[in-house]
Structure 1
């Protein structure tokens, strides 16, 4: 990647599913990058089994790391972020499938003709996501906004007034590294780390929504969000309250 600009795709892994992980890799390997750009896949295992490195094919663009077990998704994503090198950073889970052309679209919106320090420049992007069901069929979200620029506050306000449902999918997020680091990376709340980051980013900077499919979000019994603990009322309410409070605090101090 000498001389090329880098987009880092960061992925947390715990107890990898071989078939799903390979499909994730293949969808990433098939991405066509703009001239002068390269991707790296920074995969972080939540644990030290080494299984992820054994499953993935040899590819110099793939960098696998290990860490202390049971850190949770948010902490594992942040360890991948710490090991990454890209000026742009994109979330991606190891059981999902990336849509064709996704990285090129993210790069185009975040960099084409826009200086990094320009006031009002788009700082993050999201994409249309389809739920990928076990039978191979897909289901679209009813919450997608119109494609295009998302002004500061739109995502957070929608989330708060629609039962804490995001209008865009947090695992499709791609962000300028400087903003991502300034916000502290992914939020340290179990199961809602991506929501916490997206809400925070949305109140301090404009974003963009791609109408093209950028992610096939696999629905299967082993995923974190399918577990009963994810929706346990007391913990869920506390998570949402903290995410909302953080967003409101940022809205006040960032303006």
Structure 2
């Protein structure tokens, strides 16, 4: 019997190379349910990034490495998605680490609840000194109603759940065309659109160690304020609203 594949998509830029080995180790140590396996689709954002040289086991047959013209994480993730084959798609940033059991919990939620299209989980910030910090404000564990993430976003302009933990059914990612063509918040744009199309699920156990470091895109001065931020927020909300209106008319 053929194994069911979960595709792990990772955009790689030079600043994340020091952490890529830890990302691999966190993936390699995952215990998956019977009948499942994973593939890791790495996409270099630009040429000669050096992902293969940064991996502890570059010849692992479950790993594929592609490269494309530099376009930022949205382009790289979408290109990685284009080269993937899994029925389920999971995000893993090159500088982050999965927690033990993260993939099994995602697969378990999608299997137990066939009506949902996506899952997310609690996140722990991985600080430069190695400490782990949580934060308040997670939703209740379990099913998340269609549109709940958008409603929270509209009020707070902050995602209710962390988009870096997204695990999704392939057909929904295809329908939405991958990640939004934005310099940042592209994953939040995908999350809000997914929440309009389908119910989701929130797992209260931490699924990701989200590394904090000076080189990450969220450290950029334009990430949380200014004209670029306002434009990103506007188009994310406008697309989600347009999808909701289309569904209401159907």
Instruction: Give yes or no for TM over 0.5.
Output: yes
Tell me, what secondary structure is at the counterpart of 2:171? helix
Assess, with a 3 A threshold, how the Cα gap between structure 1 residues 130 and 224 changes in structure 2: closer, same or farther. Answer: same
1:189 aligns to what? 182
Assess, with a 3 A threshold, how the Cα gap between structure 1 residues 18 and 204 changes in structure 2: closer, same or farther. Answer: closer
Q: Structure 2 matches for 1:110-189, cutoff 5 A?
A: 110-112=110-112, 114=114, 121-162=115-156, 164-189=157-182
Q: 1:17 Cα shift? A: 3.7
Assess, with a 3 A threshold, how the Cα gap between structure 1 residues 224 and 50 changes in structure 2: closer, same or farther. Answer: closer
Tell me, what secondary structure is at the counterpart of 1:165? coil
Contact kept? 1:128, 1:215, Cα under 8 Å: yes
| Counterpart-to-counterpart distance in 2, 1:243 and 1:213 | 26
| Counterpart-to-counterpart distance in 2, 1:113 and 1:205 | 12
| Counterpart-to-counterpart distance in 1, 2:44 and 2:15 | 9
Contact kept? 1:199, 1:243, Cα under 8 Å: yes
User: Are 1:108 and 2:108 counterparts?
Assistant: yes
Q: 1:138 Cα shift? A: 1.6
User: Are 1:86 and 2:86 counterparts?
Assistant: yes
May I ask how many residue pairs the two structures share in their alignment? 246
Contact kept? 2:43, 2:76, Cα under 8 Å: yes
Pick aligned residue for 2:193 from 177, 180, 200: 200
Unaligned runs of 5+ in 1: 115-120
Deviations 1:154-179 (A, max 9, x none): 111111112x1111100100000001
Contact kept? 2:44, 2:66, Cα under 8 Å: yes
1:238 aligns to what? 231
Assess, with a 3 A threshold, how the Cα gap between structure 1 residues 249 and 40 changes in structure 2: closer, same or farther. Answer: same
Q: Structure 2 matches for 1:242-253, cutoff 5 A?
A: 242-253=235-246
RMSD: 1.3
Assess, with a 3 A threshold, how the Cα gap between structure 1 residues 51 and 144 changes in structure 2: closer, same or farther. Answer: same
Deviations 1:41-79 (A, max 9, x none): 00000011051012212201111111112x011011000
Assess, with a 3 A threshold, how the Cα gap between structure 1 residues 113 and 248 changes in structure 2: closer, same or farther. Answer: closer
1:43 aligns to what? 42
Q: 1:232 Cα shift? A: 4.3
Contact kept? 1:44, 1:64, Cα under 8 Å: yes
TM-score, normalised relative to structure 2: 0.95
Q: Structure 2 matches for 1:1-80, cutoff 5 A?
A: 3-56=2-55, 57=57, 58-69=59-70, 71-80=71-80
TM-score, normalised relative to structure 1: 0.93
